[in-house]
Homo-oligomer: A and B are copies of this chain.
């Protein structure tokens, strides 16, 4: 109610990147009823570069966690556009799906995805606590280290 998400982002030093328009036949988010489905976001954003490679291989845990955080920042940017810039309309984060591009034997998948989960809770507080599924996959778009998608509930 009394949440000021914009101020919260500023105090965290987070600037939301411009949302890129997909070059293919999909969109960054779709709304159905009170739910916003955010497309899978990879770990590339202006000012953050692109984290590419296998986690547990060329990418270590700390770097992968930062990559997951960048996925989360992209999710927030898409979400802001879905809210016409007013993130205070977000009722809660419902779900994150975390996909980690793993080297063989890397099983600390949840620790990586925490990079995104922590960000969402830093920004939204308890309203940011979400159900989550985290898995290690064989490849991700353009070799990204991490991809995260999301479902949020918006006030109508």
Please report A residues at the B interface, Cβ cutoff 8 Å.
Answer: 24-30, 32-35, 37-40, 91-97, 99-100, 102, 104-107, 109-110, 114, 117-118, 120-121, 128-143, 147, 149, 151, 153
Contacts and interface: CB of A to CB of B under 8 A. Distances in A.
A85 to B, nearest CB: 19
* Ranked 6 nearest A-B pairs via Cβ: A136-B139, A40-B133, A26-B132, A25-B121, A37-B131, A39-B131
B26 A131 contact: yes
B30 A33 contact: no
A35 B30 CA distance: 13
Given A40-B134, A107-B140, A109-B140, 16 more contacts: A25-B117, A26-B129, A32-B34, A32-B92, A32-B94, A32-B153, A37-B94, A37-B95, A37-B131, A99-B135, A104-B139, A109-B141, A110-B142, A136-B138, A137-B137, A138-B138
A68 to B, nearest CB: 12
A149 to B, nearest CB: 4
20 contacts: A24-B110, A24-B117, A24-B118, A25-B128, A30-B92, A30-B93, A30-B131, A33-B33, A33-B34, A33-B35, A33-B153, A37-B151, A38-B131, A40-B133, A104-B138, A109-B141, A110-B141, A135-B137, A136-B139, A138-B138
A39 B106 contact: no
B120 A25 contact: yes
B102 A138 contact: yes
Given A129-B27, A136-B140, A139-B102, A151 B32 contact: yes
